[in-house]
Structure 1
Amino acid sequence: MMYKAFFDYLQKFSSDPLSEDEKALLKQAFIPSKLRKRQYLLQASDQSKYFAFVVKGAMRQYSVDDKGTEHIVRLGVEGWWMGDRESWAMLSPSMYNIDAWEDCEMLLINRDNTLELIKNSPAFCAMIHKLDERNNIANQRRLTSSISATAEKRYTDFIACYPELLERFPQHVIASYLGINKDTLSRVKRQILQK
């Protein structure tokens, strides 16, 4: 079931069907895993050894400042990837925690297996290329939004881009992701409803 979900996802990036050999390579490269709600995939100061393809559930990636405030940098649900790219690529300690917001089922892949699949699986290679492109665009938009957009604009853009996240995460988590407090988000939502 987990692999079928991933094969269906991967097929979106390739015009050619996955061969049985390619499916076998993918199955060898990924480790099925589960997390219960609140369990960690990664804790700050540990090295990110895996990226997780979320088959079922919801996760969040965040840092915690000196005052104990969480700052959410990424949210993920089914069909999304979760991991700390900097720690994973640079083999360095992570500054982030990644935990399960809901019970999760996922497929884990390490760096060596990823590099092997890039060489031997055309569909996986195409997916990596497309995801890198999308990630760069999303990060650029988020940076521009965080330095120049109003709270209302950030929220309306979030709704437009990620409607599936609204029902999965509570208001304080979404507010943190947007870089605003939950009172500001409540005010913004009221203003939108009054329009």
Structure 2
Amino acid sequence: MEVTPLINYINRIVTLTPEEEIILSEYVVYRQYLKDQYILQQGDVCKHANFIVKGCAKTFHADNNGQEHIIMFSVEDWWASDMGSFITQTPADYNVQCIENTELIQFNHETIEELYAKIPKLERCFRQITERALVSSLKRIVRNFSKTAKERYIIFKENYPEIEQRIPQYMLASYLGISKEFLSKIKSQLAKETKS
């Protein structure tokens, strides 16, 4: 099983010994999903933390009218899970669905404490990952309250230039909280500004 991308990612936060790398590889599962397949469905309990090796996924909430509210896109070296559901083992508020064929490395909730006991520094690693995710979510909430749709789009474009090329426009519009028609307007406005 190919766990090198995960090990490289973890080693940027904490340093694993070769022995710890072997232990880690025994606790994770490698999975492949097809485009449009669900990794997690709203209402199910999230049993895995999913690290993306290859591909792209969206995390979204579907309201009672079936409207999608996308909160996150995940690509290589990112996580794609409902962390609230994973931590509390209660029904998920979010769906996680593949936008492309996707390869993942999964941590099982049932064995993660065992893994922490064997490699204590992993607990510190995951705490830092969770803290970063929390900071990022809080910043996004503030942006949604205080920035215009145009400003939010510019920030997305600057922070995630590679993601925009990989997702349909209607999904980006959902993430920004606007209609795809309004997103088109913003893009043509920016194109005109760039030319002038």
Instruction: Sort the TM-score into its range (normalised by shorter chain).
Output: over 0.9
Give the distance between the partners of 1:2 and 1:74, measured in 2 at CA.
25
2:125 to 107, 124, 127: 127
Give the distance between the partners of 1:69 and 1:165, measured in 2 at CA.
22
Partner residue, 1:58: 56
What TM-score do you get using the length of structure 1 for normalisation? Answer: 0.92
Match runs of 1:44-193 below 5 Å: 44-121=42-119, 123-193=121-191
Percent identity over the alignment is: 32
What TM-score do you get using the length of structure 2 for normalisation? Answer: 0.92
Is the contact between residue 10 and residue 123 of structure 1 (CA under 8 Å) also seen in structure 2? Answer: no
> 1:115, CA displacement in angstroms?
2.6
Letter in 2 for 1:57: G
Between 1:83-92 and 1:126-135, the stretch displaced more is 126-135
Gap regions ≥5 residues in structure 1: none
Is the contact between residue 58 and residue 102 of structure 1 (CA under 8 Å) also seen in structure 2? Answer: yes
> 1:122, CA displacement in angstroms?
5.1
Query: Which deviations, in whole Å up to 9, do the C-alpha atoms of 1:137-188 show, x marking residues without a partner?
Result: 1111100011121001100111121112111111111111111111111111
Between 1:46-55 and 1:158-167, the stretch displaced more is 158-167
Give the distance between the partners of 2:158 and 2:118, measured in 1 at CA.
36
Partner residue, 1:23: 21
Give the distance between the partners of 1:2 and 1:123, measured in 2 at CA.
22
Letter in 2 for 1:11: N
Is the contact between residue 45 and residue 95 of structure 1 (CA under 8 Å) also seen in structure 2? Answer: yes
Is the contact between residue 39 and residue 99 of structure 1 (CA under 8 Å) also seen in structure 2? Answer: yes
Aligned length: 193
> 1:107, CA displacement in angstroms?
0.6
